[in-house]
Every structure is written in structure tokens, then in C-alpha cells.
Amino acid sequence: MEFAELLQIWFAALFTVWIYSIAFRDNLFFKFAEHTFVGAAAGHSIVYGVDNVRRLGWTPLVQGQLIYLVAFILGIMLYTRYHSQHFWISRFPVSVMAGVGLGLSLRATVTSEFIAQILSTAQMKVLGVSPWCAGLYNLLFIVITVTVVYYFVFTFPRIHAGRLNWISRIARYGMMAAFGYSFANTILSRFQMIFGRLDFLMNSWLPLSGAVIALPIVLVLLAYAMIPASRRPWPKQLAATPSDD
Amino acid sequence: MMRLVRRQIPIGVVIVTSVIVMSDYFFKITGTGPLVTMLTNWGIILTAFTLGFGAINLFYLHTRHIRRRTSGQWFFSIWLLLMVVVFAGTGILTGATSSTYTWLYNSSYFALSATVYSSLGFYMTSGIYRSLRARNIEALLLLITGTIAVMRNAPALAVAAPILIDMDKWLSEFVVTSAQRGIMIGAALGAIALGIRTLTGRETGFLGRLTEAEREG
Amino acid sequence: MTTTTQKKSIWDRLEAVPREALYALLLIFFIIPMVNPIGFPVPISDEVRRWYNTIDALPSGSAIMIDFGYSGGGEPELGPMAVAVYHHIFSRKAGLKAICMSTSIEGPLLWDKAMAEVNPSRYGANYGKDYIHIGYISGGEIAMASIGKDLRAAVSTDYKGVSLDTFSIMQGIANAGSFQLLICYTTGGDQSEGWVRQWYTPYKTPYLCSVLAMMVPTMLPYQKAGQIISVTSGAQAGQMEVLVKVPARGIKSADVITMTHLLVVGFIVLGNIAYYAKKFSGGSK
């Protein structure tokens, strides 16, 4: 195995173990890994921001499509938001983005999330279906859909507490049943992710020479780092220094 | 005049661009097609420009920690900013898909991202044991459907007891889909209302922070 | 003020099990089946079968738009699914064109990772002829709308900056109408729903969607309304691997998922027994 690949696996494994250590206690290694993550994420965003500007903006510009100059000027104007007085200049590019985004989402939301959903619900047959229980299930579907829409559209407290409160109750029961299902799926998702990382540790890292020895050392160091600062011999908590603002 | 430039024109830009984009979808007007293509391409480039905001905000926050020597934090802040520079520098200089940058990504960011997402599984397990109680009808319903779905998601259990598959299918088709559809329709109504408010100039949240004149009213 | 100490009942102790013990138990239930695989069977769901049949029924030469829209956090779940589907596409040897883009900022690098796992050369598939990646395109729905309307106006190079004109796969690819199928792998609801709004609604492009298991319920209404052919979760990758006959990471997780889910059911039952037993026995508050 190449040295670079070896180093990559070691780094990835150590970061994995350090992040998982937070499940037990906060510690220096977790903080180190956490700050690495945040910094890497921000750096990665810059990389692909530059890549997109170059590939999708600069390339057509140098190929003669001068209208892209406007996009570049607007893009630079975005960064005036950090100026204490001239931040209002950034409102123009934001308005372009907001207008385009609003137009794109609004034009299709009515069709895809409103009309299509209502149409699909209205097409459900309640009578004259075989077997007969299918009609009952469809009726349940329609009732839950309508009551949930009612629950979210009519938000005055009187509506939910008065004689029609049975509508809200049916909606709540339907939603809680749905959330239980979602909860189970969330467990599946998270466990699948944990498996992915443990699979990497067991099948990519531990087979490496030295990893089996390194693992207990890493775990001991982690356990030591989890001891409260006042109780461990070193390092003690760093004393607070006066602010120079 | 200042109010026109700083407030009314941006609101006008939103209204005009969104009307152009929507009219291209609903009507066949000569000229709107290429105009919308240009606007959407500008939107892509502008979004790319916004990808630097996160790093700038981090620089503001963490240089403050470094200047103040915030106890237990300032050395982490130095490391964080160093990471931003290393990633950004490597990616821009060697290329976003170069082997060097890929190595950097795989050895740190990918592993960290995957692990952070997965670590929530531990907290969920603790929450399941300590908090998931059938205290009332709603909680009981959540518990029943959740337990059926958990059992169905265990492949061997689903094979051993095929009724779980049928129950799960019924739940997802008639209960979950209907409730989610109701939520979706409600959310769509909200989105449409917000869109109409923005198109009529009543919703100005996108303008961001107010100027002094606007604050004074 | 005097305090009285009540002896803790077994139910109090059961309710107050330290979280570290629960995590340790969870880890044990993860590791045991990983070290000693049991080989539990895996049932194939209707959604995965529908997904498989849709790709199987594509005519020769069909173009497929694939959105690698997941992040590193979702890779353990969606990665195996993406790999299994690529195995299916390439193994069909029907000249299917797999044109990939990413709405996720980590997409291009995760695509590289997936392709290393797939190893397209074993199917005789070549970059630029059978598959390609046109890069991360920022903007979410704006990107989807833009490439759906006029792909070549939005993007002129692949993810490495090489002109699209040099690749034979891009011949005749102009907009959403050039594609016979849309596939999306994503960890973001904005992306999975955005494709419905920006490609299915205006162009009626057939759409297959694979999301995190926790996102499946929110996508079910679209499937019911016929806007999405099949919504699967990445956790069903093992089933797809069985169908394409390439067992890999997905099927490996089946044993672990069974054992850990049994533990979760045990936790739910035990926790509630302890709660109600304590309540009915008038246990310490």
C-alpha cells in the first residue's frame, strides 16, 4: 500500500474515533476534530465556489459572452454586505437571486405540491372497490389528509378547542403515527451510517500494521482527556487572559 | 431618492425577475426564453459567489478569539483558520478534483462529515431508552407505529414474520403518506402565500439588515 | 430541611441506566455481527424491484441524468446504492448514457469514490463515451432549472474543466428533453423535491429517487401522486445488490441492522416496562 494511502487511512480513523468520543465525554481530541471539520467545510466551500465561478462564469466570459460580466459585478457586490455603511449595495444581487429562485419555485409548487396532491387524493375511490376494505383504507387516507390540512390552515386556538376539536384530534393522531414511522426510519439511517464508519475502522484501519496496537493507546489517551481538568495532573485549564478590546 | 435606490429598486428587481421567470413557464412569449436562461445562469454564478461567506464569518469570529486569547479556545481557532487556508489553498492551486485535494478531503473532511452525521445514532439510542414512553394516546400511536417500522426494518425479522412487511406497507401507504401529504399541502399554501407577499412587495426579509434611515422609520 | 433517602427500586435503577452503558451495549451489538457474520436473508421490497425494472426497461442508447447530490455524511447509506445502480447500468451493455452532475458540494469527489468502487472498465465502459460527470453546479433548484432548459448554456465543461464538445456521450444532449430517466441520490429534501418541481413538472421526465431512510416519508406523497416512479432509501442498497448480483457494502450491513434493531425494540419494551412498573408500584420520584 502506498504511503499516502496509509496516512489517509490513519488520519481518517483517528478523526473517526475522536468524533465518536463525544458520545461519552467532551475532550480535547473531539474539539480538535470538530474544529478541523468546520475549517475543512469552509475551505471546501471556497474551493468549489471558485471552481464554479471559473467553470460556469469565467469560461463563457472569455469565450465572448460578455453579458456574464454583469454576473461577476453582481457577485462582487454581494461582498459589500460586510461594510458597515454600504451594505445596502448587496441588496441588488440578492434581489436577482431571490427573484429567480422565487419564480422557479412558485411556478412549479402550485402544480406539484398543491394541484397534483389534491388530484391524487380526489382520485381515490371509496365506494365500488374490491376488496371492500380498500375503500375503507382510502377513506381513512382522505380523512387524515383533510384533517391535517385543516390543522395547519386554521390556526386560531378556538378552532382547536371548540366543538370541532375532534378534527384536530384525528389530525394529531394521524401525524403522530406518521412521525413514529419517520422515527423508525431515522434510526435505520443513523445506524446505517454508524455501520459505515465501523466497517471502515474494522476492515480498512485495523488490518494495518500498528493499528491494533494504536487502538488501545488512543482509547487510553481519550479516557485520560475525559478526566475533568482539575483532577488530572496535566494539562490544567489555561488561565483566562484579559481582553485587549 | 435614497429610499428608492436602497429599498424600492431591489424590491422591484425581485418582482420583475420572478414575473419574467414565471411567465416563461406559463406563456410562450418571444424573448423570455433566452432571458430566463441568462437569469438562471446568473443565479448559479451568484450562488457560487456566496460560498465564500461561511469562511469570512469564521474568520471574523475566530480572529476575535485569537486576539482575546479566549481561554481553551484560541489555539483551536488558529487550527480552524489554518484548515480553511490549507483546504482553500490546495483546492484552488492544484484543482478541485486533483489527487492532492482528494487525498486531503478523504483523510479529513469526508471521515469527519460521515462520523458527525452518524454520532447522532448514539444519542437517539439513549433517547429511545430513557424518553420514549407511552404517556398518552398520541405517544402510544407513535410508539406502536415506530415499533412496527423498526421491526420491519430489521431484514431477518421481516423475513421471519412477513406480516410485518404487510403492516409496514399499509402504514406507509395509508397513514404516513396521507399525513405527509396534508403537511405538504399546508406547507405549499404557506409557500404560495409567502411568494405572493414577496411579489406584492409586502415581504422584505431578503433585504437583510436595515439602514439607519429605515430603522428610524 | 431534612432529606429522606429512599431505597431505589429495580425499576428506578432500570430507568436510570447510564448512557455510557447504553452506548457500550449498542457498540457490542454492532461489532458482534461484523466479526461473526450470520448471513440473515434480505427481503426485496416493491420499491427496489420497481427501481430495478425501470432501469431494465430502458431502451438502448437512453440517456440518464444522475444527480450525485449527497454529502459525506450520507455516503455510508447512499454510496452503496449509487454503486449498485451503476453496476446495473453498465452491466446492461445497452449503450445507456450515464450523465452525472452534482447539486451537492461534495458530489464530484464522492462520485470519484463511487466510480473507484464500480470499476467501469470491467464492463468495458469508458469515460466520455458511456459515462461522464459535468461537475458540481451551485444554486440547487436554479441549477436544475438551468440545465433542464439549456444544459449547454449552463455548463460547457466536465468536472475537470474539459470541454463537453470533446465527449461523444454529450452528442444530442441539449436539455431535459434529451433524457429518458432522472435519478437522484441526495441527503437534502430541497434537492429531491426540487427535481420534481424543475424536471418532472415541466418536462415529465421519469424520476427515480434515493434518499436517506429518514427522508422517505416526506417523499411518499410524490410517489403516490405518480410524480416519482420509486422512492428508495440508501439502506435498501443490499436489496439492489442482490438484484444486480454484485454483493458489496449494502448487503454486509443486513446482519448488523437486524441485531441493532432488535436491541432498539428491547430498549423500547424495557424502558416502558420500567416506567409503568415504577408508576404502578408508586416508585421514588
Chains that touch A (3 or more CB pairs under 8 A): B, C
Rounding to the nearest 10 degrees, give the CA dihedral for residues A167, A172, A175, A181: -130
Q: Distance, in angstroms, between A118 CA and closest chain B CA?
A: 8
pLDDT at A245 (0 to 100): 33
In a domain, residue A135? The reply is yes
Kindly state the average pLDDT of the residues A4-10: 94
Q: Delimit the domains of chain C by residue range.
A: 10-36+252-280, 46-247
In a domain, residue A137? The reply is yes
pLDDT at B184 (0 to 100): 95
| For residue C102, pLDDT beyond 50 | yes
Q: Distance, in angstroms, between C4 CA and closest chain A CA?
A: 30
Greatest mean pLDDT among A30-34, A231-235, B128-132 lies in A30-34
- Decide if C74 touches B, using CB distance below 8 A: yes
pLDDT at C280 (0 to 100): 82
What part of A 47-106 touches B (C-beta under 8 Å)? 47-53, 56-57, 67-68, 70-72, 74-76, 78-79, 81-82, 87-88, 90-106
The DSSP line for C140-158 is THHHHHHHHHHHHHH--B-
Model confidence at C39, pLDDT cuts 50, 70, 90, reads confident
Q: Is the dihedral angle over the CA atoms B96, B97, B99, B104 positive or is it negative?
A: positive
Question: What is the pLDDT of chain A when averaged over all its residues?
Answer: 89
| For residue C3, pLDDT beyond 70 | no
Are the Cβ atoms of C42 and B159 closer than 8 angstroms? yes
Q: Give the chain B residue nearest A102 (alpha carbons).
A: B18
Are the Cβ atoms of C34 and A198 closer than 8 angstroms? yes
Question: What is the pLDDT of chain C when averaged over all its residues?
Answer: 92
| For residue C75, pLDDT beyond 50 | yes
pLDDT at A239 (0 to 100): 41
Give the DSSP H or E segment for C100: strand C97-102
DSSP state of B160: H
Model confidence at A37, pLDDT cuts 50, 70, 90, reads very high
Q: What's the CA angle centered on A60, arms A56 and A61, to 5 degrees?
A: 110
Model confidence at A220, pLDDT cuts 50, 70, 90, reads confident
Q: Is the dihedral angle over the CA atoms C165, C129, C105, A11 positive or is it negative?
A: negative
The set of cell numbers assigned to A218 is 488512543
Contact C51, C240 (CB under 8 A): yes
Greatest mean pLDDT among A1-5, C30-34, C206-210 lies in C206-210
Looking at beta carbons, which residues of chain C come within 8 Å of A5?
none
What part of A 70-89 touches C (C-beta under 8 Å)? none
pLDDT at B30 (0 to 100): 85
Select from C94, C116, C161, C171 the least CA-distant residue to C134.
C161
pLDDT at C265 (0 to 100): 94
pLDDT, one tens digit per residue, over B138-192 is: 999 999 999 999 999 999 899 999 999 999 999 999 999 999 999 999 999 999 9
Are the Cβ atoms of C156 and A109 closer than 8 angstroms? no
Looking at beta carbons, which residues of chain A come within 8 Å of C137?
52, 56
pLDDT at A218 (0 to 100): 85
| For residue A241, pLDDT beyond 80 | no
The DSSP line for C116-143 is HHH-GGGGT--BTTTEEEEEE-TTTHHH
Kindly state the average pLDDT of the residues C185-199: 95
The DSSP line for A23-86 is GT---HHHHHHHHHHHHHHHHHHHHHHHHHIIIIIIHHHHTT-TTHHHHHHHHHHHGGGGSTTT
Helix axes C46-56, C75-91, angle to 10 degrees: 40
The DSSP bridge pattern shows strands C207-211 and C97-102 to be unpaired
pLDDT at A163 (0 to 100): 81
Q: What strands, in cross-sheet order, belong to the sheet with C131-136?
A: C131-136, C97-102, C63-69, C181-186, C207-211, C230-233
pLDDT at C5 (0 to 100): 54
Q: List for chain B the helix, strand, coil content (%; round to 5).
A: 85, 0, 15
How many structural domains comprise chain A? 1
Closest CB to C271 among B51, B133, B176:
B133
Q: What's the CA angle centered on A206, arms A200 and A210, to 5 degrees?
A: 140
In a domain, residue A32? The reply is no
The set of cell numbers assigned to C180 is 429518458
- Decide if C177 touches B, using CB distance below 8 A: no
pLDDT at C197 (0 to 100): 96
Kindly state the average pLDDT of the residues C10-29: 84
Question: What is the pLDDT of chain B when averaged over all its residues?
Answer: 92
B207 vs B181, more confident: B181
Q: Measured in Å, how far apart are chain C's first and last C-alpha atoms? A: 18
pLDDT at C6 (0 to 100): 60
DSSP state of C283: -
- Decide if B116 touches C, using CB distance below 8 A: yes
Give the integer Cα–Cα distance in Å for B212 and B209: 10
What part of B 150-189 touches C (C-beta under 8 Å)? 150-151, 153-159, 162, 165, 169, 172-173, 176-177, 180-181, 184
Give the DSSP H or E segment for A204: none
Model confidence at C285, pLDDT cuts 50, 70, 90, reads very low
pLDDT, one tens digit per residue, over A146-170 is: 999 999 988 877 777 778 889 999 9
- Decide if C75 touches B, using CB distance below 8 A: yes
Are the Cβ atoms of C72 and B109 closer than 8 angstroms? yes
Kindly state the average pLDDT of the residues B48-75: 93
CA of C37: how far to CAs of C176, C251, C256, in Å? 45, 11, 8
| For residue B131, pLDDT beyond 60 | yes
| For residue C230, pLDDT beyond 60 | yes
A227 vs C165, more confident: C165
- Decide if A69 touches C, using CB distance below 8 A: no
Contact B157, C258 (CB under 8 A): yes
pLDDT at B185 (0 to 100): 96
The set of cell numbers assigned to A28 is 480535547
3-class SS of residue C208: strand
Q: How many helices (H) and strands (E) does chain B have?
A: 12, 0
Whole-number percent of chain C with pLDDT over 90: 80
pTM: 0.92
pLDDT at B217 (0 to 100): 65
Longest dimension (CA), chain A: 80
Kindly state the average pLDDT of the residues B56-63: 95
In a domain, residue A208? The reply is yes
The set of cell numbers assigned to C222 is 410524490
Are the Cβ atoms of B21 and A99 closer than 8 angstroms? yes
Q: Which residues contact B34 (CB under 8 A, 6 or more apart)?
A: none
Which amino acid type is present at position C101? M
In a domain, residue A149? The reply is yes
Are the Cβ atoms of A52 and C141 closer than 8 angstroms? no
- Three-state DSSP string of C27-77: HHHHHHHHHCCCCCCCCCCHHHHHHHHHHHCCCCCCEEEEEEECCHHHHHH
Burial of C126 (0-12, 13-18, 19+ CB in 10 A): middle
Alpha helices in C134-232 (DSSP H): 141-154, 189-195, 201-203, 216-224
Give the integer Cα–Cα distance in Å for A171 and B182: 9
Are the Cβ atoms of C261 and A188 closer than 8 angstroms? yes
The DSSP bridge pattern shows strands C131-136 and C230-233 to be unpaired
pLDDT at A229 (0 to 100): 73
Give the integer Cα–Cα distance in Å for C71 and C55: 24
Model confidence at A215, pLDDT cuts 50, 70, 90, reads confident
Cell 421526465 locates to C205
- Decide if B190 touches C, using CB distance below 8 A: no
Which of C34, C149, C236 is the mutation pick for testing A, counting most A CBs within 10 A?
A: C34
Looking at beta carbons, which residues of chain B come within 8 Å of A67?
38
Which of C249, C263, C265, C268 is the mutation pick for testing A, counting most A CBs within 10 A?
A: C249
* ipTM score of complex: 0.90
Q: Distance, in angstroms, between B86 CA and closest chain C CA?
A: 17
Give the integer Cα–Cα distance in Å for C280 and C278: 6
The yes/no answer on whether domain C46-247 falls in CATH 3.40.190.10 is: no
pLDDT, one tens digit per residue, over A117-140 is: 999 999 999 998 888 899 999 999
Contact B110, A200 (CB under 8 A): no
| For residue A12, pLDDT beyond 90 | yes
pLDDT at C2 (0 to 100): 45
C184: left (phi over 0), alpha (psi -120 to 50) or beta: beta
Q: How far does Cα A80 stand from its chain's mean position?
A: 28
Model confidence at C12, pLDDT cuts 50, 70, 90, reads confident
| For residue C9, pLDDT beyond 90 | no
The DSSP bridge pattern shows strands C63-69 and C131-136 to be unpaired
Kindly state the average pLDDT of the residues A219-232: 80
Which amino acid type is present at position B57? N
pLDDT at A212 (0 to 100): 86
